[in-house]
Amino acid sequence: MTASLTPAELRNAFALLSSPGLIRLITEIDDNGPIPPRRLAGTLPDLSAHHLRRTTHVGRAHGLVRVAPGAGLALTEAGSELADFYDATARWARRHAYPAAVCSFTTRLQHSLSLLAVALVADRADGSHRPAGEGTPTIEAEAGLFNPRALLVQWLDANPQVTVGLEAELVA
């Protein structure tokens, strides 16, 4: 269970997985199929050309997307499994109105990933919990995170390449 990953490697993975551009790219391809050549900017028009290039580069470098001949930008098996994790996590977040009743898919994922990061990096096996407050899920809601957490742990174990430090390029 990610025991072989250091806290720094987990932080790298979470920085990558919570990148708005990567979330949008992975979920767009998962929902609508490969993005044809020269259609990336039209498909994600709110992202700058620079951000699209960086996101695509990082997605390819980490084995999440590939260029499929004749089809365009497509998900790899790892990218498809990541999309499944994103979907399960977003379903949990919508069901529990986390972090708010109304927010974007990307925001829901980023906040949920942040919550999962605390659980994995800090190893809360000692039973300690953050005090309840605004934007903090209930104990029942956190218990519902078991499935997304299990998917994430399984995915991280199968895809250790996401722990290397290319994530800085996403914000460059």
Give the pLDDT of residue 73: 97
Q: Which CATH number belongs to the domain containing residue 32 in this structure?
A: 1.10.10
109 and 131 housed in the same domain: yes
pLDDT (tens digit per residue) in 11-43 = 889 999 999 999 999 999 999 999 998 999 999
The whole-number pLDDT of residue 6 equals 83
Provide DSSP, 13-43.
Answer: HHHHHT-HHHHHHHHHHHHH-PBPTT-HHHH
**Residues lower than pLDDT 50 in the chain:** 1, 124-134, 167-169, 171-172
CA distance 81 to 62: 13
What range defines the domain where residue 48 resides?
A: 9-76+166-171
- Same-domain status, 72 and 85: no
Query: What is the number of structural domains in the chain?
Result: 2
Residues 132-148, buried b or exposed e (16+ Cβ, 10 A)?
A: eeeeebeeebbebbeeb
Q: What distance in Å separates the CA atoms of residue 145 and residue 117, rounded to the nearest whole number? A: 12
